[in-house]
Amino acid sequence: MHKLKIVADEKIPFLDKLFYRIGEIKTLPSSEIKKENIKDFDILMVRTVTKVDAQLLENTRVKIVCTMASGIDHIDRIYLKKNNIRFIYAPGSNARAVAEYVIVSLLLLAKIKNISLNNKTVGVIGVGNVGKKVARFCSALGMNVLLNDPPKFNRFKNIKYLSLKNLSDADIITLHVPLTFSGKYKTYHMADENFFSSLKNGTIFINTSRGSVVDERALLTYHKKLLGIVLDVWENEPSINIELLKITDIGTPHIAGYSIDGKFNASFIVYKKLCKLLGIKPSINKSEVFPRTIIEKDISIRNDIFQTLYEIILQIYNPLNDHNELIKITKIGTSARREYFEMLRKNYPFRREFTNYLLRVNTLDSHFKKYEEIFKSLGFKIKNRG
């Protein structure tokens, strides 16, 4: 048997450290992942920016496709199945990163809009890997959580998945559904005119799922009834709607899940699945490639948990920085906007998840015990200074 040949997007992290024992690796920029450049390879590894279909794969030697992502709407799975091409992906790999992005965005919006999140009701639409974490984090903060996931309800018959009966019941709506174009649970343009007209005035709207879940024309029509808009995903990426970007409070270039932890998780999940598919015993230890990191932060406890978290989290991650970089696209000529959007994604700065942070707190503070469980629920570690 010939040595396996792997062709991969050059921006996939940890490639050499994880896959060097499996085969010979060649990397390409995503723009160069074309039929003529991959036709003599056995395994193709991509990110979400690459559409994998007949146009890319026909008359190539590729027999295994791997995507280092949890979403798969860029993959023509029907074509792969018909042509006996195996497929590997990484569901849930960046779920924590996306959920943290949602929580941080809510804390920022509350500060910007001068509102309290205390006792606000959050409607989580789509209760998969990300939606479950968002619901758990919001509950830990004392917010009321309503869920909506008809497929899950029909599978498990648990009424909690339909607790969000009317969109107007929620102060905040956050979308965490896959993108599907047909069938009983089609999500393409799920957030349409009827959707937005059903929201009560002053709702906060967040989408970190897929851009085409939202009918952007409808959102532009109804945006004035919304208190806040957070969009990480856009229709027709990387050719995004500039007018929509201008009316968002936080608009980012599809990077909600782009923590370095999430990226490693995706690559490592694919590594283990590929080893299993090839009948190879995994020989690489997770900690060898991605050692555990503890970053210590001294913090002060305020009377208000949301103010406390706001101050802590801004030391860790501020999505307004990403927003400010993306908004520069409005000053760029139309022809260069696609490249700018992709450049922001390709060169995204280093970001760690909450689980890497140890908060050093003075236990003499009377509010500490009250908030300790909340910090832990979000993934932070706690160390007593006193």
Of the residues 254, 323, 345, 351, which is catalytic? 254
Task: Measure the CA–CA gap between 295 and 46, rounded to whole angstroms.
Answer: 31
Assess whether 254 carries a catalytic annotation: yes
CA neighbor of 149 nearest in space, from 178, 169, 172, 120: 178
Q: Are strands 121-125 and 295-298 parallel, antiparallel or unpaired?
A: unpaired
Q: In what order do the strands lie in the sheet with 203-207?
A: 144-148, 121-125, 172-175, 203-207, 226-231, 250-251
Number of neighbouring beta carbons within 10 Å of residue 270: 22
Q: How far apart are CA 73 and CA 64, in angstroms?
A: 17
Sign of CA dihedral 99, 104, 109, 114: positive
Q: Which of 47, 96, 176, 210 is catalytic?
A: 210
32 is catalytic: no
210 catalytic? Reply is: yes
CA distances from 380 to 287, 295, 325 (A): 20, 10, 28
Return contacts of 283-289, CB within 8 angstroms, 24+ apart: 283/21, 284/17, 284/18, 284/21, 288/17, 289/14, 289/17, 289/18, 289/264
Catalytic residue among 235, 237, 342, 353: 237
Q: Name the residues annotated as catalytic.
A: 210, 237, 254
